[in-house]
């Protein structure tokens, strides 16, 4: 008698294949497919040689394992999402608070190193070690005796073999030998947490345009109370000072072009970021004078030369040691909505209400 029965080995192979792909879930109908094949086998089995009870039990067990694999995968995904949501909620607790954090990075873009500073409490002999993203030491700068105070780090972006290093982020540490012996000098940033940004799957706090790793926080405290403002609408008609302005782009920069003022002449690198915290483009601005306002020179294109999508972008200013002031002050003349989010119109500049530092 001719039959179309499927053997146990075939069913076992199908179950194994579905289980191997459980994390990819490319076939959401795996359970239905298994049942269809099982029913087909029962319908087409040879009545003179029916399937043994042990075989049937074995196949049901295989299906149970497949079902458990799918359910386990979904449970793990739910746990992961809950953990990620919890992490974001934890970081939101820092919004508006004052923090002190350690920063220790130098950015290399287009072969130029920008950023990096240290502060000595007393005169000391200084050595700076620079590391790549893998933690490999690429250069040691022996600076000799330095006076107390703040100093920019001057690095030619070359390694110990005098080879140009690749563009990217480099970490550094500063070792000082003074009257009290050898010690590691901390480099820190202090300011108000303006937002939460995401880059490469990790969340960062935004402080003075700098990305701060939450794990590098040294101190957190409440900022002095200002005039209570319940909603963005409450700002209209009032004088405010904000940490920085947002970039409102729609084919061109709308409103006032954001910028910065240096406390002294220095080389400058401006980094543009999207709302998710992804680096869009690095702009080497060259040497800029101190005391003057400099507009950022972004043409709205990313690092591949492609015009970016309309939306809100942020920026940060890096230098070799000069302090960059990106604050915006003026009267709030109205609200501008972007993707349903209200922004303050401060005399033509678009400002996030979270960036406001004082209210008149």
Following DSSP, what letter does each residue of 318-336 receive, concatenated? EESS--EE--EEEEEEEEE
pLDDT tens-digit map of 140-174:
999 999 888 767 788 999 999 999 999 888 999 99
* CATH fold of the domain at 95-225: Immunoglobulin-like (2.60.40)
Cβ proximity of 190 and 97 under 8 Å: no
The 10 Å CB-count burial string (b at 16+, else e) for 142-158 is ebeebeeeebbbebebe
Pick the CATH number of 226-359 from 2.60.40.10, 2.60.40.4070, 3.30.540.10, 3.40.50.150: 2.60.40.4070
Q: Say what the pTM is.
A: 0.47
Q: How far is CA 115 from CA 171, 244, 276, 321, in A?
A: 11, 19, 23, 7
Tokens of 76: 């793990």
Quick one: pLDDT at residue 10?
Answer: 40
Identity of the highest mean pLDDT range in 66-80, 84-98, 258-272:
258-272
How many Å apart are CA 289 and CA 10, to the nearest integer?
A: 76
Residues 6+ apart with CB under 8 A from 243: 191, 192, 194, 208, 209, 326, 327, 355, 357
Mean pLDDT is lowest, of 131-135, 203-207, 274-278, for: 203-207
Average pLDDT of span 9-13:
42
Quick one: pLDDT at residue 190?
Answer: 76
Element (H, E) at 18: helix 8-20
pLDDT at 331 over 70: yes
Chain centroid to Cα 224, Å, comes to 28
Mean pLDDT is lowest, of 27-31, 105-109, 290-294, for: 27-31
Strands 266-273 and 311-319: antiparallel
pLDDT at 217 over 50: yes
pLDDT at 230 over 70: no
Cβ proximity of 167 and 110 under 8 Å: yes
How confident is residue 43, by pLDDT bands cut at 50, 70 and 90? low
Residue 160, CB half-sphere, CA atoms under 13 Å: how many?
12
Tokens of 85: 């949501």
The angle at the Cα of 246, spanning 334 to 312, to the nearest 5 degrees, equals 95
- Domain range annotation of the chain: 8-92, 95-225, 226-359
Tell me whether domains 95-225 and 226-359 share a fold: yes
Whose tokens are 């999402």? That residue is: 81
Quick one: pLDDT at residue 161?
Answer: 93
How many Å apart are CA 216 and CA 202, to the nearest integer?
A: 14
pLDDT at 18 over 60: no
Helix axes 30-43, 53-92, angle to 10 degrees: 170
Strands 168-178 and 117-120: unpaired
Quick one: pLDDT at residue 288?
Answer: 93
How confident is residue 7, by pLDDT bands cut at 50, 70 and 90? very low
Average pLDDT, the chain: 78
């Amino acid at each position: 008698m001719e039959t179309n029965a499927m053997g146990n080995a075939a069913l076992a192979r199908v179950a194994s294949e579905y289980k191997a792909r459980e994390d990819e879930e490319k076939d959401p109908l795996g359970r239905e497919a298994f049942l269809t094949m099982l029913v087909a086998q029962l319908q087409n089995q040879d009545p003179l040689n029916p399937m043994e009870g042990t075989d049937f039990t074995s196949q049901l067990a295989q299906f149970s394992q497949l079902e458990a694999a799918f359910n386990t995968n979904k449970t793990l995904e739910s746990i992961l999402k809950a953990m990620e949501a919890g992490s974001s909620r934890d970081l939101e607790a820092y919004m508006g608070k004052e923090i002190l954090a350690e920063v220790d990075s130098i950015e290399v873009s287009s072969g130029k190193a920008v950023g990096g500073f240290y502060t000595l409490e007393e005169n000391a002999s200084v050595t700076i070690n620079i590391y790549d993203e893998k933690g490999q030491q690429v250069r040691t700068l022996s600076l000799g005796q330095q006076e107390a105070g703040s100093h920019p780090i001057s690095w030619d972006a070359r390694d110990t073999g005098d080879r140009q290093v690749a563009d990217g982020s480099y970490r550094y540490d500063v070792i000082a030998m003074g009257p009290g012996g050898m010690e590691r000098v901390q480099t820190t940033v202090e300011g108000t947490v303006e937002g939460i940004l995401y880059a490469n799957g990790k969340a960062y706090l935004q402080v003075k345009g700098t990305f701060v790793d939450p794990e590098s926080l040294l101190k957190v405290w409440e900022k002095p109370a200002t005039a209570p403002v319940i909603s963005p609408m409450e700002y209209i008609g009032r004088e405010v000072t904000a940490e920085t302005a947002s970039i409102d782009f729609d084919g061109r920069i709308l409103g006032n072009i954001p910028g910065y003022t240096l406390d002294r002449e220095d080389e400058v690198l401006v980094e543009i970021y999207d709302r998710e915290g992804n680096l869009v483009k690095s702009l080497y601005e060259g040497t800029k004078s101190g005391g003057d306002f400099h507009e950022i020179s972004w043409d709205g294109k990313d690092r591949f030369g492609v015009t970016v999508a309309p939306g809100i972008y942020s920026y940060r200013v890096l230098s070799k040691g000069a302090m960059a002031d990106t604050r915006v002050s003026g009267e709030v003349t109205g609200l501008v909505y972007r993707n349903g989010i209200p922004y303050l119109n401060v005399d033509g500049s678009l400002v996030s209400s979270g960036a406001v530092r004082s209210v008149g």
